[in-house]
Structures are given as C-alpha cells and as structure tokens.
Amino acid sequence: MPKKVAAFVLSFFWMITMLQAAFKKEDIKVFHLDNGLKIILYEDHKMPNISYFTFFKVGSRCERPGLTGVSHFIEHMMFNGTEKFRPGEFDRLMEFSGGANNAYTGDDFTAYTDWFPANALEKIVELEADRMQGLLFDPEVLESERGVVASERRMSVENDNEAIIYENVRSTAIMAHPYHWDVIGWMSDILGWRPDEIKQYYQTYYAPNNAVLVVVGDFEATRLLELIKKYYGHISVQPPAPPVITVEPPQLGRKEVIIRKEAQTPSFLLAYHAPACSDSDFFALSILEKPLLQGESSRLYRRLVRDEQLAISVSGGCEEKIDPFLFMIEVKPRPDADLTRIEKIVDEELAKIVEQGLTESEYEKALNIVRSDFYFSLQTNSGKANMLGAMEMLYGSFDRLFTIMDSYLQTKREDIPDIAKKYFNELNKTAGYLVPEGGQP
C-alpha cells in the first residue's frame, strides 16, 4: 500500500476511534414532559454553539388522496407567522441572534433545524415552542404559499424530465401504500386543499406527543430543561395520530412505464421493491449498492459509462424508510443510447451478483464507505442532532444510532447472493423509459 494511502487509512480509523470515544450513549440525557414531548440532550462545550432540532412524526406517508403534499406545505407555513410573531419574524430574530435555520420534509418525518450561538438559547426555545401549535394560517398568506408550492412542483417535477420519470416509476411500482406519491404531492391536491383540512392536519401531527426535541451543544441540561418546561409545558396533548395500516401487496410481474415527450436526451430508471430499514436485508442491499452503483470503479459505471459508452452516469440504491420502499437504479443515457440495451446490461450485472456475489475487496471497500459516511455525519453538533432524531423517527429510539453499524458488520458477504436473488428478479421490477419525441425505446 502506498505511504500516502496508508497514512490516510490510519488517520481515518483514528478519527473513527476518537468519535466513538467522544460520543457515548451514556452521556445522552432523555426527558419527557407531561404532554408527551420527548427531549434528547447531549452537552458538548467545545464551541459556544447549539444545534436545536425538532422532529415531527409526519411526512407524506401520513397523507391521503386529496391531501397529498400537505406535510411539505405546512413546513412552508411554519415560517409564516403565529399569533405572537409576525410572518418572517422567526427568520429575522434567528438571523439577528447570529443563527441560521432550515427544515426538510420526507416520506416518514419532518425536521426543523436551528443553529445559533449559545447566548440566544431562550429566544429560540420560545420561537420553536410558539410555532408548535400556534400557527396563524392567515388566509392571504396561505394562498400565497399555496402558489409558491404549486410553482415549486412545476419547476422541480413537471419541467424536470428525471423527476417526471421518477414520479411515474414510483407511483407505478407502489400501488397501495402512501409511498405511492412523492413529498411534493399531486398538483390537483395542492390547488384543492381546504384551509380547515390543513389546520386539522397541523393540529393532529404538530403536537408535543408526536414530536421529539434534540439539542446538542453548549448548554447546561438542567437550565435548558427549565426553559423547555416554561415554553412547551402548556401545549395541549392531541389524540394519537391514526396509524398507517396499508401494506403494499406483492408485485406479480414486470411493470413498464414509457413516457414520450420533448427532451434532449432519454431517461432510464429501474425500481425493485426493497425492505424497510428495520429489516436485516436492508443492510445487505445498502452494502451491495456501493460496488454496483457508486463511483467510477462500480460495476455499472464501468459497463455503461466507460466500456460501452451508453451513459453519462449511474446512481441509486435503497433509502431508509419505515415501511418497504424501492431500490432504484438510475442511468443518465447518452442522447442516442439504446435503452433496451442499457436494461439488458443492468440485468446481466445483477445476475452476476446473484450467481457469484461480491469479491472480498468489493465487500471490504463497501463496508469502509458505510463506516466513512456514518462517522463523518457525526463530526458536527448538527450531524449528531440530525442522526439522533432520524433514529427516533425511523427505528423508534435514538439507541439505534449506537448499534446500527453492528447490523452492517454482521452482514456476511456469503449471504449477499441469496438476498440479491430475493429482490432483483423480473417479477419485482418496474422499468421506466423517457423517450424523446420521435425516438425509439
């Protein structure tokens, strides 16, 4: 091994060791308010900054036809005023204190992310508690924001060919489960949401008993808990949100989506039904995606981009979801590429994995990538807060953060062919072709 590479490997594993030593489960403090709010605190006094993340157990998975996209819409409304603070004042006060904020909505949960100097703590606690159940839903602001979200859908989906093929493949592969639609929702729903339905959805899901507060950084836990009780303690408990009970039925045969529209280049996407993140098979597929799809040394990159020059790039894999979702293989073809030839090559490479598995070097490299991604995500206060909250949302407890690497390391290379065979078969496949007008699939 070259000296520079060896030095990098040693420094990388030294960094992992230091992170493991510094970030311990026993240093995390957990509290519950009487109204059901769960609080996870981790003190880190190395820098005078705080990451303050609020997670709500709500995403597009909680929606229904006619109300798709409303979880994402409420994320927009959370920055548009309460009875106490005017529209835009949340951002103004945050920036005045030297902080910053953001938010994201996914299929399974929604997160609000704040970063700020330690001396602004009480003001941020007040602001976040106020908008947990105090949104104003001013009619004029609501309609303005509805227009913003409709415009977002037009720009990010309807005018984006890759997004169009993704939406169509996803909704064809998943028929029954709410994962059928993407977070942005359908345009007819966006234009048709009724204000009373939006408010009821907000009251149901933006409740303390449906939320987890994660704070990491330079604070004293006893003092912070007093502030949280002061500002959150009066917020009313809401009835439990209805559970998601729909189970996607097994797919009974290959599905195909062919879209013909004006485009400079074709698009190609394959989707295979994949397990929930709590399933042990998920970790095998997550390992497998690295040598199959990631980087210029991956099998599909070598075949499709370098050797046969049919594509510009390849990407995809499986995502962590509460319920079973999809393993995606996305190929960006060259303008005149034969899409059926691309699909045939993907089938050939998947068949090789089913028949022969991964090499030892592929397997070890994949595990190193998993380790690298995991530990790099924990280097900052925000990374720790985000990971703690995501574990709560996806696995039911932040404890999973401290055992999840074991699930990857317990995945044996010898088991990967049988797991690949279970999911990568013709009955479980949905193929998506976006063909420029006048072209041939």
The whole-angstrom separation of Cα 11 and Cα 93 is 41
Q: How many CB atoms lie within 10 A of CB 274?
A: 23
Q: How many CB atoms lie within 10 A of CB 390?
A: 22
> Is the same domain home to 202 and 261?
no
List pLDDT tens digits, range 359-380.
999 999 999 999 999 999 999 9
- 3-state DSSP call for residue 300? helix
List pLDDT tens digits, range 44-76.
999 999 999 999 999 999 999 999 999 999 999
> Is the same domain home to 228 and 259?
no
The whole-angstrom separation of Cα 87 and Cα 79 is 7
Question: Which among 211, 262, 216, 223 is positioned nearest to 435, based on CA atoms?
Answer: 262
CATH number of the domain bearing residue 51: 3.30.830.10
Q: Report the pLDDT averaged over residues 167-178.
A: 98
> Is the same domain home to 69 and 200?
yes
Query: Please, what is the average pLDDT of the chain?
Result: 94
The answer to pTM > 0.85 is yes
The answer to whether position 237 is within a domain reads no
Better-predicted residue by pLDDT, 138 or 18:
138
The two tokens of residue 83 are 């009875």
List pLDDT tens digits, range 387-398.
999 999 999 999
Residues 6+ apart with CB under 8 A from 182: 60, 157, 166, 167, 170
If one counts the domains in the chain, the total is 2
The answer to whether position 212 is within a domain reads yes
How far does CA 383 lie from the centroid of its chain?
14
> Is the same domain home to 141 and 41?
yes
Instruction: Provide DSSP, 333-364.
Output: E-TT--HHHHHHHHHHHHHHHHHH---HHHHH
The answer to whether position 144 is within a domain reads yes
List pLDDT tens digits, range 332-355.
999 999 999 999 999 999 999 999
Strands 38-43 and 211-217, bridge-based pairing: parallel
Q: Is the pLDDT of residue 13 over 70?
A: no
List pLDDT tens digits, range 26-36.
999 999 999 99
Last residue in a domain, options 198, 232, 266: 232
The whole-angstrom separation of Cα 270 and Cα 284 is 19
The answer to whether position 79 is within a domain reads yes
Q: Is the pLDDT of residue 14 over 70?
A: no
* Residue 116 and residue 97 in contact, taking contact as beta carbons nearer than 8 Å: yes
Nearest 10 degrees: Cα torsion 378, 293, 315, 433: -150
Burial of 337 (0-12, 13-18, 19+ CB in 10 A): buried
The answer to whether position 287 is within a domain reads yes
Which pLDDT value is given to residue 438? 66
The whole-angstrom separation of Cα 73 and Cα 105 is 9
Name the residue range of residue 385's domain.
255-436
The answer to whether position 14 is within a domain reads no
List pLDDT tens digits, range 312-331.
999 999 999 999 999 999 99
The whole-angstrom separation of Cα 260 and Cα 437 is 6
The two tokens of residue 395 are 């696995």
> Is the same domain home to 324 and 217?
no
DSSP state for residue 302 in the 8-state scheme: I
Which pLDDT value is given to residue 6? 47
> Is the same domain home to 197 and 271?
no
- Tokens 């230091």 belong to which residue? 18
The whole-angstrom separation of Cα 115 and Cα 103 is 12
> Is the same domain home to 326 and 186?
no
> Is the same domain home to 194 and 274?
no
Instruction: Provide DSSP, 88-122.
Output: THHHHHHHHTT-EEEEEE-SS-EEEEEEEEGGGHH
The answer to whether position 301 is within a domain reads yes
> Is the same domain home to 261 and 192?
no
> Is the same domain home to 218 and 272?
no
Question: Which among 149, 128, 147 is positioned nearest to 73, based on CA atoms?
Answer: 149
> Is the same domain home to 194 and 311?
no
Which pLDDT value is given to residue 437? 84
The whole-angstrom separation of Cα 241 and Cα 239 is 6
Which pLDDT value is given to residue 4? 47
Q: Report the pLDDT averaged over residues 153-158.
A: 96
Which pLDDT value is given to residue 300? 98
Min mean pLDDT across 7-16, 31-40, 408-417 is at 7-16
**R_g of the chain, CA atoms, integer Å:** 23
The answer to whether position 76 is within a domain reads yes
List pLDDT tens digits, range 271-317.
999 999 999 999 999 999 999 999 999 999 999 999 999 999 999 99
List pLDDT tens digits, range 186-210.
999 999 999 999 999 999 999 999 9
Question: Which among 159, 134, 158, 144 is positioned nearest to 76, based on CA atoms?
Answer: 144
Q: Is the pLDDT of residue 21 over 60?
A: no
Q: Rounded to whole angstroms, what are the CA distances from 113 to 30, 215, 342?
A: 19, 10, 41
> Is the same domain home to 212 and 266?
no
Give me the sheet containing 211-217, strands edge to edge: 29-32, 38-43, 211-217, 49-56, 110-117, 100-105
Q: Kindly give the residue spans of alpha helices, DSSP state H, lying in 78-210.
A: 89-96, 121-133, 139-153, 161-173, 187-192, 195-205
